[in-house]
Structure 1
Amino acid sequence: MKNNKFNSLEDLKSLIPADYVAEKESEEETVEELENQHIEAHLSKKGRGGKTVTLLKGIKGDDQQIKTLAKEIKTFLGVGGSLKDGEIIIQGDYREKIIDFLVNKGHKVKRVGG
């Protein structure tokens, strides 16, 4: 057998009791999806060093629901973003793609500015 650094860990099996059963990991709490809402998609450069961001305002729901929606949008677009004061901030001008994404989820989205 090759000299593998993990081979020495085989000896540790003897320390585990024979009747040991590993605990199951707790399942994540399911978060209710947001109801259909009227959301505004803004474009902003203010206070961001000239970088463009898309702001989603008017989202009603608890922080966990908004956080979940933000994660879905960021994953869909493959971009970064954050959540601040109940607003979702997405890096870059992705208003059209975000509007399409949210409309497909049943929300009403209004394009504001620019």
Structure 2
Amino acid sequence: MAKKKKEKVNVVYSTNPDFSFEYEEEDTLETLAPEKQVLYVSIDRKQRGGKEVTLVEGFVGTEEDLKDLGKLLKSRCGVGGSAKDGEIIVQGSFKDKVAELLEKEGYRVKKKGGN
């Protein structure tokens, strides 16, 4: 994989020989412990062509940890999906199973919606 280049901020050209570039600081978000997080599990059909997906919202942590949790849920349910922007999408209606799996991992879970 390619390394990320650091973004130089607000410098076009400098004649100062002692000048050093300012770099943007990356917002490193630490992942909270599972018992400190509340995840919301719901069934969603909006903008999906009528197909149902199980939506997990409320994750606080790094994108890598989110993808790992998404991978665990998708493999245990035996379906596809995605994990990005703080939410996990599992294809199909697996609200109860996903909630049960998250509780076994130590997360506090709340179910949204009446389905």
Percent identity reads 45
Where 2:64 maps in the other structure, the secondary structure is helix
Amino acid in the other structure paired with 2:93:
D
Amino acid in the other structure paired with 2:71:
K
Are residue 88 (structure 1) and residue 88 (structure 2) matched?
yes
CA offsets per residue over residues 2-48 of structure 1, 9 Å max, x none?
A: xxxxxxxxxxxxxxxxxxxxxxxxxxxxxx98621100001110000
Q: Distance in 2 between matches of 1:33 and 1:40?
A: 17
Is the Cα contact below 8 Å between 1:43 and 1:93 reproduced in 2? Answer: yes
Q: Distance in 2 between matches of 1:93 and 1:35?
A: 27
Q: Distance in 1 between matches of 2:88 and 2:109?
A: 14
Higher helix share: 1
Larger radius of gyration: 1
Give 1:102 deviation, angstroms.
0.6
Report the counterpart of residue 100 of structure 1 in structure 2: 100
Stretches of structure 1 lacking an aligned partner (at least 5 in a row): 1-31
Amino acid in the other structure paired with 1:50:
G
Give 1:66 deviation, angstroms.
0.3
Give the alignment's TM-score, normalised by structure 2. 0.68
Give 1:86 deviation, angstroms.
1.3
Amino acid in the other structure paired with 1:35:
A
Give 1:84 deviation, angstroms.
2.9
Give the alignment's TM-score, normalised by structure 1. 0.69
Q: Distance in 2 between matches of 1:39 and 1:104?
A: 13
Is the Cα contact below 8 Å between 1:34 and 1:61 reproduced in 2? Answer: yes
Report the counterpart of residue 73 of structure 1 in structure 2: 73
Q: Distance in 2 between matches of 1:71 and 1:34?
A: 18
> Number of residues paired by the alignment?
83
| TM-aligned CA distance change 1:33 to 1:78, over 3 Å | farther
Q: Distance in 2 between matches of 1:96 and 1:35?
A: 22
Is the Cα contact below 8 Å between 2:31 and 2:60 reproduced in 1? Answer: no
Q: CA RMSD in A?
A: 1.6
Is the Cα contact below 8 Å between 2:63 and 2:86 reproduced in 1? Answer: yes
Is the Cα contact below 8 Å between 1:34 and 1:65 reproduced in 2? Answer: no
CA offsets per residue over residues 79-98 of structure 1, 9 Å max, x none?
A: 11002321100101101001
